[in-house]
Amino acid sequence: MFMNRLFYVLSVVCFTVFVGQAQIDAGSVFGLPFASLAEITAITTAQEGSLAYASDTDKVYKFNGTSWEEIANNNNPSVHLGAFIISSTGTQTISGLPFQPTQISFVGHANVETFNLNSDNGTRNNETGLPNSFGSTNGFARNDGGTIVQQSIFIGSSGNSINDISRFASSSHCIGIRYGNQNGDLLGLTTASVTSFNVDGFTINVDNLADNVVVIYHAYD
């Protein structure tokens, strides 16, 4: 009988202590350091695994040892569609995405150089040069555990006539257009590759530019 009463008393005490410790108030919650996203990403020597809250994006970011990456949030959009124009060689950064993408698909068409266009090629009929070349490129870039995997393909020809086709594929580019004449001979290349996935977008490097091109992309969280 005594043992039963003792067990009951101990059970009540333990339950009371547990409930008391489980209570939470403003002084007991865990707070993260906060700043703007630009201020956070400017810190490049943080300890791996460090967390920070960006007040301007309302998101939490983790330092992976080399850069800051967004912690997944199921309430955020998981797909973002956009477009940009390749108009010069070198580095080009696309920003304004609502997340840090992990994979992106790309599509572009030869001789579509601006966002608004409604015309022929702008040169003479039966042009044999680059302005009469046509074709489409499809490609992707994916982050595989820190390694960027990418691929591009292209098929096209010329508006002069089609005696042969122009083909291109590259496992080191996500965008690749091979401009060709009616015989499929090379007239020029426009190629680009993804070099980094950023907290609000991505960066490409354009290593060949025969002509400007509009690129439409699908980015995935």
- For residue 65, count other CB atoms closer than 10 A to its CB: 10
* Domain encompassing residue 190: 79-220
* The token pair that represents 37 in the structure block: 């996203």
- For residue 101, count other CB atoms closer than 10 A to its CB: 26
Is position 179 within any domain?
yes
* The token pair that represents 112 in the structure block: 């579509």
pLDDT digits (tens, 9 = 90+) for 42-87: 998 999 889 998 888 778 888 988 888 887 665 667 899 999 999 9
pLDDT digits (tens, 9 = 90+) for 125-181: 989 999 999 999 999 999 998 899 999 999 999 999 999 999 999 999 999 999 999
pLDDT digits (tens, 9 = 90+) for 189-199: 999 999 999 99
One domain for residues 27 and 136: no
One domain for residues 93 and 52: no
One domain for residues 50 and 89: no
Is position 10 within any domain?
no
Tell me which residue has tokens 């790309």: 106
11 pLDDT above the threshold of 90 = no
One domain for residues 96 and 60: no
Q: Specify the number of domains making up the chain.
A: 2
Q: What is the DSSP string of 136-186?
A: EEEEEEEEETTEEEEEEEEEEEESS--SS-EEEEETT-SEEEEEE-TT--E
- For residues 130 and 187, give the distance between their C-alpha atoms in angstroms, rounded to a whole number: 6
CATH code for the domain of 139: 2.60.40
